Chains A and B, each alone.
Chain A
Amino acid sequence: MRKKYPNITNKLWSVSAIAAILIVWQSVCSLGVVDAFMLPSPVRVCRAFVSEFPLLMEHSAITLAEGAVGLGLGIALGFVMASVMDRFDVLYQAFYPLVVLTQTIPTVAIAPLLVLWFGYEMLPKVILVVITTFFPITVGLLTGFRSADPDAIDLLRAMGAKKRQIFFYIKLPGAMGQFFSGLRISASYAVVGAVISEWLGGFGGLGVYMTRVKKAFSFDKMFAVILLISFISLLLMKAVDRLQKVCMPWERDLRQETN
């Protein structure tokens, strides 16, 4: 109960900050300080959002599908890589630098290549999403595996546990927290990654929609789609939080106890 009060004030501050920015933005537009076609007012953005809503939903479905498939494969890949690198130290030494290297390649630079190699369909988008999402998962899981308490591992060894049992009883559950931190980042990367790959060629999706409205100088629709992408990312991160609470009931029970 005690926690509730500061929570409300926290939200109050952030909500008033957003409101203040919107008011300044709207007045700058209404007073004609900036040309209307350069910077559409919040009201016009909202109107564009409503009128374009059915079209936006159609494109969202495509982007979300690419993001979801890519994220799913990214999780699977991250899982396999982290487990294998944890099990065999040689592979860790060999591949960890390479995994880090893949993250230094700018997404925008590699996307056109993927289009050239794999065409305009879904495949290059999914591949790009996999490249951007597997990394936080791999690193999160690997850190979790490696931070397992050596005494706990010794205890299980003393009980006669095999390596596989140590993995499933200690390492994997102990890495859940870090896994979900990684997943939260990956979930937002998935949408952004899909959008970026759609910019460079494709037949549908929010990225394709973006390039179209940009060419038509419809800045109000541009803002509407940006808003939508942020909203989807936030929603996904919230969903990850929910999933974490379901999958890690011991943390939830603790919080109830202390409240």
Chain B
Amino acid sequence: MNLAWRDIRHKLGRFVLTCLGLSLLMAVVITMAAMNRGQIEDATALVRSIGADLWVVESGTHGPFSESSRIPGDTREMIMRMESVEQAGAITLQTVQAAHAGRKLRLQVVGFEPGRLGEPVKLIAGRPITRSHFELIADKQTRLQLGETVRLGRDDFTVVGVTSGIVTLSGDSIVFMSLKDAQDLQFQQAPPSARRDAARGQQRSPVDLVNAVVARASPWVSTDEVAETIRRWKHLSVLTDEEQNQLLTRTVIERARKQLGTYMAILTVVSAVIIALIIYTMTMEKIREIAMLKLIGAPDRTIVGLILQQALLMGALSFGAGTALVYTLAQGLFVRRLVVLPTDIAMLFGVVVLVCLVASLLGVRAALRVDPARALTG
């Protein structure tokens, strides 16, 4: 017979309630981990969506995700002329804020050349941009519907396609439009300002600027080799896909990740203390029964097993319930993406098991020190 299970069954209601309480705490820890993973997913969503091997950016910069980067629009042709490059496309990135249907839309606009590298790889509804002007692909987070028109800058754009999960590292939705429209939106002056500059005799600044050129290397050439060739040109910088991902996850969102990590660590310590107190209390409540078991001859391993099994079962059930809570309820509660990966869950479960084992030490110590004669006292 399993003494741990019998004891739990005897006070099942209280055990279940304790597990439920702990599961809420664990759900918070898992949510933190999921937020951390979601932050990485958000930060790299655009890079993954475009699927480029190389990001060619302004010389001496780390590209448009971390700082200002402007290069001439014809850089694309120059890159494309390289034998080792299979595809290339120019892109622009800018943040706009627009009012639509009584709500504020905060968007990052990606301009790309339709039919070339830079457009989103996967749409969940609608079609790619086929006209050179005034069509828009929006992320479903914007709640813009297919066929809906939204005003950005001085033009109206019609939503023709919908993507899913493509947001910026700060959680803003990303929309895609033609490069020309995006350049106009970014560089074209408002009419009063343009008239004023013309009256002052100033020439209009050139608008054929892009923020980056994305390229895909030919299958038979290594990406690093192509990157090395481009770096020799001095007037351009280049980041491989891996470098871009590292830059985004280890530099751009590093502080936010560290903060979440610290919060998670604190929560884990709090959980450990709470689990230790619960197990200690559970042990002390049955200290007389433990003394009795010792008195009738139960070895220490039976006593330790009783406590550890209860602690591990409590940890496992609470973790299971916490995970289920995150999967079913938490996903809709947070505005930012939560990503729960099986590897993260496995790792966190390992931590919970470890925490339960360590937290049991207080209870085990108390149980091993109890005098069997205690069973004889009234």
Q: Do A and B originate from a single complex?
A: no
Interface on B for A, CB 8 Å cutoff? none
Chain A interface residues toward B at CB < 8 A: none
